Copies of this chain bind each other. A is one copy, B any other.
């Protein structure tokens, strides 16, 4: 769809970025030591959690918005791909230069510009981890609510570009609900400013919302103004076992009629339970076919009252072995099972294909039951866990990395799972995004006229197709 750049789609693509004049110009912009071209050293910047390798021709570390402007103007002049990269821990290759060119790492842009406790916002650069942002505002008694599991490794810029989710969504929503304003360098090297410092702002089209989840395809985020909330005084977690996944998931809709809005509601299926138990021997009941974790936050009194109510509701709806944390330490222990899942699943194979479909939460039992059938049909191990409270399930197909046939079967499972999610009123990604990994499946969820509008918007920001090519659209 865009002006072509000569590249291939696997291995180290060679584009105009390799032109010595370009490398020299890049060094002039950011300084010699902030441009890496050595193949060994650029390699780590060519992959993310998907673990496929697309090493860039150069990695460049700008220090400022001005640096990024110059880099992008150079890219448009010489026509080479530019892919912005934060922590590089995504699950869909959003920060991976699949068509070569340069990677722009925001690692040096780590400033907290302002924390305003009175006005409840923080202004920061994109290169801080989300954890670092949370720590910084936490010192002022404030909370940045979005909490993707990767928050200690993923950068805030990447979290915004991917519109990251996490566990606290049932109460707090996703990243886009907490971004007030952005400074962005568009693909052509223009600096734009979206939104502002206030929640209310209806001046022009909402480009802030558009940038959230744009996967680095429209511009590079160089500064963000994020909404903060008062840090809740207390949290509490209740964990319970269930005799079936269906029973565990059915409880999810029982809290709202009691006026409860839990912060997090996570489920774990029997395959995850078995794997965790085998690896970590938590002493979980052999009768546990599913585990439900429910967390609440707020004032200490409110949390106590709500946690008791949650225990009662769970007990009335088939939960057993109900545990409620009485301290922060006990609460951490209850969550250990959840944290142990990902490593434990590797016992079933060397390649874990982790999808993150989403359906209206009442459809989770049907989704999970049908995914089990899909796994059986294609003789593929599958385990499900995740953010059931917002219908966002992590579906893990685990196979052997060296078994091409098994991988092909797993791919069939993935494709059928995506179709199923859309049929159930959901979609193919709740929080990981599309990247290059799911680009071929976009048509399952997005119809042609809607896709054409998205492509049109891409052309407005990036007429030369410079920025993060090979993503979202095929």
Q: Which residues of A contact B (CB under 8 A)?
A: 116-121, 141-142, 162-163, 165, 169-170, 173-174, 176-177, 186, 190-194, 196-210, 212-214, 218, 229-233, 253, 256-261, 298-299, 301-302, 305, 358-363, 387, 390-392, 425-434, 442, 445-447, 449-454, 456-461, 472
Contacts and interface: CB of A to CB of B under 8 A. Distances in A.
A324 to B, nearest CB: 19
A194 to B, nearest CB: 7
A258 B117 CA distance: 12
Contact of A202 (B256, B434, B458, B459): B434
Contacts of A392: 198, 200
Indicate how many identical chains form the complex: 2
A163 B208 CA distance: 13
A190 B165 CA distance: 31
Contact of A200 (B259, B358, B453, B459): B358
B209 A176 contact: yes
A198 B360 contact: yes
A207 B454 contact: yes
Given A177-B177, A427-B203, A460 B456 contact: yes
Given A203-B434, A230-B259, A450 B192 contact: yes
A119 B363 CA distance: 9
A425 B169 contact: no
Nearest to A306: B299
B199 A173 contact: yes
Contacts of A163: 202, 206
A210 B213 contact: no
Contacts of A362: 116, 118-119
A176 B208 CA distance: 12
B174 A200 contact: yes
B204 A451 contact: yes
Could you say which of A204, A231, A430 has the most chain B C-beta atoms within 10 Å of its C-beta?
A204
A118 B430 contact: no
A256 B461 contact: no
Contact of A299 (B118, B302, B425, B429): B302
Contacts of A452: 190
Contacts of A472: 204
Nearest to A461: B453
A169 B200 contact: yes
A232 B196 CA distance: 30
Given A360-B116, A449-B190, A457-B460, A202 B162 contact: yes
A214 B202 CA distance: 9
Contacts of A207: 210, 450, 453-454
Contacts of A170: 199
Contacts of A176: 206, 209
Nearest to A387: B200
Given A120-B256, A176-B209, A205-B213, A229 B261 contact: yes
28 contacts: A118-B361, A119-B362, A169-B199, A173-B199, A174-B199, A191-B449, A193-B447, A196-B426, A198-B358, A198-B360, A198-B391, A198-B426, A200-B358, A200-B430, A201-B429, A202-B431, A202-B432, A203-B446, A204-B450, A204-B451, A205-B457, A207-B453, A207-B454, A209-B210, A210-B210, A298-B302, A453-B461, A457-B457
Contacts of A214: 205-206
A142 B460 CA distance: 40
A459 B120 CA distance: 36
A462 to B, nearest CB: 11
A249 to B, nearest CB: 11
Contacts of A445: 203-204
Sort A-B residue pairs by CB-CB distance and give the 9 closest, nearest first. A209-B209, A456-B460, A200-B430, A119-B360, A118-B362, A190-B449, A118-B253, A192-B450, A230-B256
A446 B210 contact: no
Contacts of A257: 117, 141, 230
A387 B425 CA distance: 37
B186 A260 contact: no
Given A198-B430, A256-B120, A205 B454 contact: yes
Could you say which of A116, A118, A425 has the most chain B C-beta atoms within 10 Å of its C-beta?
A118
A200 B454 CA distance: 19
